[in-house]
């Protein structure tokens, strides 16, 4: 079976991220890429085992426009940490890099709703926000301010959230 083009790009981006950011991981990245689902499953299994690999997976998903796939995986991992391991908090993901990547991505899209949701996950998971996380959150607000100054429209979801917040006040 052949991989979809987005899956092939995902593997390529994953390998690039690992070799650039984690020099010791070059040996674990497969040198020859197979075009079948067994190979993809093997790579994804490695991703789930290590947080730094999960950060690479996050980066690759965001670069290949697979945001929803990544968020679904993140939610699954957080739920597994709570339910299957009987933890009170989802501390399975201990790498703040995953959250930094998400916040930077959402800031680049001026997506405050997703930024706010990610910040609540950070709080729920007991992760101390890093300087980069704070800067990304401020960058998102700055992007929204710039949009308003230029007269550009906000997303419908943001308008809905603002109107709901005003009603509750």
Indicate yes or no: pTM above 0.75: no
Give 15-31 pLDDT, tens digit per residue.
Answer: 776 666 655 544 544 44
* pLDDT tens digit sequence for 65-99: 888 888 888 887 777 666 544 444 444 565 678 88
Do residues 101 and 60 touch, judged by C-beta distance below 8 A?
no
The per-residue DSSP string of 7-71 comes to HHHHHHHHHHHHHHH-GGGGGTS-SSPP-SHHHHHHHHHHHHH-HHHHHHHHHHHHHTT-HHHHH
Q: How far is CA 70 from the centre of its chain?
A: 6
φ, ψ (nearest 5 deg) of residue 126: 70, 30
pLDDT at site 125: 76
Mean pLDDT of 95-120: 87
C-alpha angle with apex 123: 120 to 129, nearest 5 degrees?
Answer: 105
pLDDT of residue 91: 42
CA dist., res. 80 & res. 153, Å (int):
38
What are the structural domain ranges in the chain? 1-70, 95-169
User: What is the C-alpha to C-alpha distance for residues 71 and 84, in angstroms, rounded to an integer?
Assistant: 19
The mean pLDDT value for 108-137 works out to 88
Helix (H) or strand (E) holding 87, with range, is none
Rounded-to-integer distance, Cα 63 and Cα 76, Å: 21
């Amino acid at each position: 079976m052949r991989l979809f083009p987005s899956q092939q790009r995902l593997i390529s981006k994953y390998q690039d991220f690992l070799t650039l950011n984690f020099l010791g991981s070059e040996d674990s990245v497969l040198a020859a890429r197979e075009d079948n689902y067994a190979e993809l499953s093997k790579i994804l299994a490695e991703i789930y085992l290590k947080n730094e690999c999960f950060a690479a997976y996050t980066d690759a998903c965001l670069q290949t426009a697979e945001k929803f796939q990544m968020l679904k995986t993140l939610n699954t991992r957080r739920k597994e940490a709570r339910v299957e391991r009987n933890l009170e908090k989802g501390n399975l993901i201990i790498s703040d890099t995953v959250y930094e990547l998400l916040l930077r991505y959402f800031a680049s899209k001026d997506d405050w709703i997703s930024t706010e949701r990610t910040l609540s996950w950070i709080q729920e998971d007991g992760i101390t926000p890093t300087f980069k996380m704070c800067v990304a959150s401020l960058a998102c607000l700055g992007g929204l301010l710039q949009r308003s100054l230029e007269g550009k429209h906000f997303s419908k979801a943001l308008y809905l959230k603002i109107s709901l917040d005003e009603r509750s006040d």
